[in-house]
Amino acid sequence: AQSVTQLGSHVSVSEGALVLLRCNYSSSVPPYLFWYVQYPNQGLQLLLKYTSAATLVKGINGFEAEFKKSETSFHLTKPSAHMSDAAEYFCAVRAGGQNFVFGPGTRLSVLP
C-alpha cells in the first residue's frame, strides 16, 4: 500500500529565506509524486509532479522538488520565500490505478 508522510505540520520561515518542506513516501511500485498547494477557501492547485523523467522537477512559483529513490523522498524547496507562499502544502503519491494518496499537509507561514 502507498503512504505519504510529511515531517512538520507547520513550518515558519522568514521572507527571503529558503523554504524546505519534507515528503517521504512508501510505494510497492515506481511512484508518481505530486506537490499541491491549497490557499484558504480555494481548491488544491498542482505545483509540480514527478513522472519518472528528470529527478529534479521544476514547478510553478519558483518551487522545485527532487526525487531521491534511495531515500524515498520528494522534498519541496524554494530558494527565497515570499509572503504569498503562505499556504497549506500537500505531497501525494499515485502508484497504480487512480487512487491518489495525500499526506497530512504542512502549513507554511512566512514571517516579514
If one asks whether residue 23 binds other proteins (CB under 8 A), the answer comes out as no
Which of 51/55 has CB closer to other proteins?
A: 51
> Do 75 and 11 touch, CB atoms closer than 8 A?
no
Q: Closest separation between CB of residue 16 and other proteins, Å?
A: 28
If one asks whether residue 101 binds other proteins (CB under 8 A), the answer comes out as yes
Cβ-proximal residues to 72 (8 Å cutoff; 6+ apart), any chain? 24, 25, 26, 27
Q: Closest separation between CB of residue 56 and other proteins, Å?
A: 18
Quick one: which segment of 12-20, 43-51, 58-66, 70-78 binds other proteins (CB under 8 A)?
43-51
Place of cell 481548491: 43
Q: Closest separation between CB of residue 99 and other proteins, Å?
A: 5
